[in-house]
Amino acid sequence: MSGSEHGAGRSAPGPAAGGGGAGGPAAPPRPPADILVVDDDRTNTLLLADLLSVAGHTARVANSGAQALALAAEQTPDLVLLDIMMPGMDGYQVCRKLRAEAATRLVPVVMVTALRETDDRIAGIDAGADDFISKPFNRHELLARVHSLLRIRRLHGELERALAGQKRLSQMKDQLTHLIIHDLRNPLSGIMGNLDLLSLKKDNLTEKQARFIEEGRRSSKELLKLIAALLDVTKMEEGKLELKREATDLTALAREAVAAFAGVVERDRKTLVVAAPAEPVTALVDRNLILRVIENLLTNALKYTTAGGKIVARVEGPAAPGGAARCGVEDDGEGIPVEVQNRLFTWFGQVEARAERARAGAGLGLSFCKLAAEAHGGRIWVESAAGTGSKFIFELPTNAV
Ligand SMILES: Nc1ncnc2c1ncn2[C@@H]1O[C@H](COP(=O)(O)OP(=O)(O)OP(=O)(O)O)[C@@H](O)[C@H]1O
Ligand SMILES: [Mg+2]
């Protein structure tokens, strides 16, 4: 096949390694690259290899697709100059195979081709080529394209390394945080144990002292719950929480959750009812986890409704057999502005500027609910608007094994 328009050879003046354009400021030195030259035409491979070595690179030569793949597997090249029309395996096939291998997936491929048709170039792009150069090639253009792709690949490599470093750091940070959260339980157990002991000595305490101790015990329990939630959320995010699935009647579960709030409901003169079909709604779920999801949603509904508020825990069977069952908690409280709704399901996501500080929580409850629903192959969402009450609904597949 035809070679260079300008001819090539060691004698020809060409841009050498580190060389820049004539007259311009000196370009930074260019690192030598290992370039795989693939062409069934031996004259052509020699020509290209010569041109590349004058420019300071190492050229390895393959005269067939199979040989090219073998050389690429032996040592990943920095770039491949690939002829399209070759007997046996053509350039498109070679390119596809390079793209399919992890080691050569990102290696820049320049197709050197006598074909000028747009369709051929489209086929090349489809096969994963990064650039084309037409035969007979202009060697300055060829080197410029080669150097531009090598630069992009180098920058890509730098980005990859930086990202890997960031990932490692972030993992270490996560592990450390996890460890600290985990270890918080030990001193906390000590505090709780001592408070429990003190509370047993009520007779020796003034009423005020006893109240302080009770307050301390209540706060410690809250803190313990928070630590457990943080540990669960991290475990679920890492996919390490194993679900203990069992056939569970979601209506019975909703009733169990509701019953636990009877005292608060009565104290605050609210209404809390379960609305469910007469027949059981059964799903294979981690009972304890889903119970905690419903409890979280009920806690929120009770927190964000005023005295006299109405709350419904609704359970619905699948619309079609084997479909998803739905559980929802609906309230007639203050509602949630649409623009902040997505944020609520992220760690510490809360509606800002909620007036009553006393009602503030950690902002973890809904993240927990989302991860728990998703761990079951389900999803959770909210339907609400400011001032109209809120509906938190989650869907669980009933046929999951
Ligand atoms: N039923 C609801 N009505 C109005 N706003 C709600 C309701 N449920 C949740 N929100 C808003 O969503 C935020 C996030 O809820 P989430 O349960 O994740 O955290 P939290 O209740 O603040 O704290 P935690 O549950 O960790 O104790 C809440 O702070 C509140 O702003
Ligand atoms: Mg909450």
The residue whose CB lies within 8 Å of the most ligand 1 atoms, and thus the one to mutate among 338, 344, 348, 383, is 344
Question: In one letter, which amino acid is 362?
Answer: A
Residue 359: pLDDT band by 50, 70, 90 thresholds? low
Nearest C-alpha neighbor of 188 from the set 236, 224, 219: 224
Tell me what pLDDT residue 190 has.
Answer: 92
Q: Which CATH number fits domain 245-397: 3.20.20.70, 3.30.565.10, 3.40.640.10, 3.40.50.300?
A: 3.30.565.10
Asked if 229 contacts 364 with a C-beta cutoff of 8 angstroms, the reply is yes
Is residue 140 within 8 A of residue 15, CB to CB? The reply is: yes
Residue given tokens 């996890």 in the structure block: 178
Ligand nearest to the CA of 354: 1
Q: Output the ligand 1 site: residues, CB below 6 A.
A: 296, 300-301, 304, 331, 333-334, 336, 344, 349-351, 354, 361-366, 390
Report the pLDDT averaged over residues 27-51: 89
- State the closest ligand 1 atom to the C-alpha of 300, by its place in the atom list counted from 1: 8
Ligand 1, atom 20: closest residue by C-alpha: 363
**pLDDT score of 17 more than 50:** no
Q: Which CATH class is domain 34-137?
A: alpha beta
Q: Indicate the domain borders of the chain.
A: 34-137, 169-237, 245-397
131-164 per-residue burial string, b: 16 or more CB within 10 A, e: under 16: bbbbbebebeebbebbbebbeebeeeeeeeeeee
% of the chain beyond a pLDDT of 70: 89
Contact between residue 288 and residue 250 where contact means Cβ atoms under 8 Å apart:
no
Is the whole model's pTM more than 0.85, yes or no? no
What is the number of the ligand closest to the CA of 349? 1
pLDDT 10s digits, 200-213: 888 888 999 999 99
H-helix or E-strand containing 374? helix 365-375
CA of 172 to the centre of ligand 2 (A): 28
Model confidence at 185: pLDDT above 90: no
Output the CA 237–ligand 2 centroid distance in Å. 18
Looking at the predicted structure, is the pLDDT value of residue 347 above 90? Answer: no
> Given this model, what pLDDT does residue 28 score?
62
Higher local confidence (pLDDT), 135 or 81: 81
In which band, very low, low, confident or very high, does the pLDDT at 364 lie, cut at 50, 70 and 90? confident
